[in-house]
Structure 1
Amino acid sequence: MATALTITIVCLAAATVLWWTIRPARPRGPRVLDSGEISLYRMRHVRPERHLGIVTGDLRRVHCAQLWVNPENTAMRMSRVDELSVSAIIRYEGACRDTAGRITADVIADELERRVGPRRPVPAGTAIITGPGDLARFGVRYVAHSAAVQGEPGGGYRQIRDVGRCATAVLTAIDGVTDPTPVRSVLFPLLGAGQGGGDPADTARALVGAVVDYFTATPASAITAVYLLAYTDIDLAACRKACDRAALRPSSPGEESRSGEPAREVAMTAPPFRQARKTLRIGLTVDVVGFGGRSTTGRESLEHRIPALLRRTLADAGADLGQVDHQWHGDGASIYLPGDADPSRMLTELIEATARRLAEDNRHHEDRIRLRMAVTLGLLGHSGTTGYTGPLVVDLARMVDAPPLRQAIADEPDRDLAVLTSDHVYSAVVRPGGFELAAARFRRVEVVVKEFAASAWLWVPEQG
């Protein structure tokens, strides 16, 4: 009996050892990579020479690109901030927040909402450019929202069939941005390979191929470097394989490109973050009425007409657009008056010149431009050449979207301009009588937009 029991125990032990030896290995999940490592590849057959880089780790530690690409759905609705996605990170990090981390101004999501308007869903592959919001502290100047995934009722989201065209559309949109300082560097996550369920290897191969094809066909592009974000070791392997398959040549540290610029410097163009110094400034924002409801051709036309209109307007006020702080929004722009400007003179001339130049422009085009304008006073910061931050930026965004201003332009279909000034500007500049536009023509209104609540003053030009 004892012998039989011993034999049984030995057999069970042997079976256990054998099972542990031959058991199928559990599939290992992706490993999140350390942040900040950059590998550069030279596009040998592209002239002028460009670089493609791979950046590893967390998006929030990336400081090498002036434009971030946001993989979005065809509804162009950003993810909730508590989701694990690139869209959620961009939305939260680009928003203005209080000391507890609560969002006080949903800057990027709000601008995307205005840009898309009633056009949902957008075609797969569509690219829409917005400002960076508070991402400016990472060295970001713009965000490109790319329709890389499609939703199906009851089926969730899936990557679009040809994700390479997303890259082509994004690069085309970037090169089409009207900005005195062109965008030089772009960061692509693996579009649609996260929640969209796309294969990382196929996605990386499609993106690399599209980028190389774009630069080959567009030698005049201002972009000099494109980066792929590899969040995990699987993403990194996919990106490396795609670069190898495209016959891209790794750049060694210290190696110089044909232009004489060190290859490593291409990857590290963004300055280290420093707290922006803020000054008290008067700013104004103009926003095109009905921009999102126009066709693609119509919107592109306005994106050329608005900068030309503002250049002429500023020239009438004795200023040069190239010498005045400003920021483009696609459907409008913000202008920040110099700190030493006389607001009683310059504001009058800017408002009157805007009305005059707008009427002049509309006489030469069938597509009539109508503008909402907001004017206020506040603190403004500027992080190098990357963007503008501070309460002034947020308050202007709220005021130009104010219901009384929207209603004023809607109630006056024959007027092309409506202006809303803050109570600060009215009290300091208009009411004392130094403002050439009569104070009696301003009407007091109450403005409540999200967390913004204040009195303001509405002005609409007289007819004729």
Structure 2
Amino acid sequence: MTPAATVLRRLCVAVDATGYGSKTDIGQLAAQRHLVEFLDDAGQSAGLRRAEWARQPGGDGEFAILPADEPEAAVIDTFIPALNACLRRHNTMMLPEARLRLRVAIHFGRLVPGANGWAGPAPVQVARLLNARPLRDALVDIPDAAIAVLLSDQVFTDTVAQHHTTVPATSFRKVEVLEKEFRADAWLWVPGHDPRSAVTPPPTGSDTPPAGPAPSVQTTVHGGVTGTDIVFGIRN
């Protein structure tokens, strides 16, 4: 009989550097070194135990599973701002081609350790969020931003909307993510910037809506502030 799988529920954090493929070999090595250094520094600033994270390095990125007792609010409240500060200090001293800018996706959910990584919906969802067009476009639309973050709807609803963080809900913009077979609401956050300034219409083509303004609907964001939710399409 096959033993029962060990089912866990954990916070997943995925990070990826933008523009990594256009760097030289030396530039890529430097980006990898700085990425690990800044993640470790931010973890220390937030009082998180980075050494105990289950980490899968990926050159220009990292996928991490946090221990069950690592506080979710600290990741949003302290870790992300500390990481943003590291990046901004670094980038002020670098030429544009040497700057390091990151996309971050955060989700809490079910996963199972496997023979070659992690199985279950949580790793899949955080990967889809990390590759989502709204997150990628944020760093294009706001060239001064060093980091752009996408929270799953569950993390936003359970942590930010419940005022467990000092980051207000009005710092986020709700977006719809369409990535391959995945479709879900998520919440975009660009620390230090208005996330509503990161708006790019969906691409045109046979598998996308007709060209024109991005469809929008007026909604009431948590905290009673009215904003605009933009729907994005993703190509396979």
Q: Distance in 1 between matches of 2:36 and 2:79?
A: 14
- Residue 150 of structure 2: aligned partner: 420
Name segments (4+ residues, structure 1) moved above 4 Å.
273-276
Compared with structure 1, are the counterparts of its residues 346 and 407 closer, same or farther at alpha carbon in structure 2 (3 Å cutoff)? closer
User: Structure 1 residue 461: deviation in Å?
Assistant: 1.3
Amino acid at match of 1:309: F
Alignment of 1:82-231 (within 5 A): none
User: Structure 1 residue 291: deviation in Å?
Assistant: 1.1
Match of 1:295 among 18, 24, 27: 24
Indicate conservation of the 8 Å contact 2:101/2:147, yes or no: yes
TM-score (structure 1 length as normaliser): 0.39
Give deviations 1:56-96, integer Å, cap 9, x for gaps.
Answer: xxxxxxxxxxxxxxxxxxxxxxxxxxxxxxxxxxxxxxxxx
Secondary structure in 2 aligned to 1:434? coil
Give deviations 1:240-286, integer Å, cap 9, x for gaps.
Answer: xxxxxxxxxxxxxxxxxxxxxxxxxxxxxxxxx97641211111111
Could you tell me the percent identity over the aligned residues? 34
2:9 equivalent to 1:280: yes
Indicate conservation of the 8 Å contact 2:9/2:110, yes or no: yes
Match of 2:181 among 437, 447, 451: 451
Root-mean-square deviation (CA), in Å?
A: 1.9
Secondary structure in 2 aligned to 1:433? coil
Give deviations 1:422-453, integer Å, cap 9, x for gaps.
Answer: 11111111101111111111100000000110
2:100 equivalent to 1:369: yes
Amino acid at match of 1:335: A
Structure with greater Cα Rg: 1
Amino acid at match of 1:374: A
Compared with structure 1, are the counterparts of its residues 412 and 456 closer, same or farther at alpha carbon in structure 2 (3 Å cutoff)? same
Give deviations 1:308-333, integer Å, cap 9, x for gaps.
Answer: 11111111111232222221111111
Q: Distance in 2 between matches of 1:316 and 1:326?
A: 19
Match of 1:324 among 53, 61, 77: 53
Amino acid at match of 2:138: A
Indicate conservation of the 8 Å contact 1:282/1:337, yes or no: yes
Give aligned pairs, total: 190
Amino acid at match of 1:378: G
Indicate conservation of the 8 Å contact 1:402/1:448, yes or no: yes
Task: Give ranges in structure 1 of 5+ residues lacking alignment.
Answer: 1-272
Q: Distance in 2 between matches of 1:302 and 1:420?
A: 22
2:120 equivalent to 1:390: yes
Indicate conservation of the 8 Å contact 2:10/2:108, yes or no: yes
Task: Give ranges in structure 2 of 5+ residues lacking alignment.
Answer: 194-236
- Residue 33 of structure 2: aligned partner: 304
TM-score (structure 2 length as normaliser): 0.75
Amino acid at match of 2:150: L
Indicate conservation of the 8 Å contact 1:311/1:320, yes or no: no
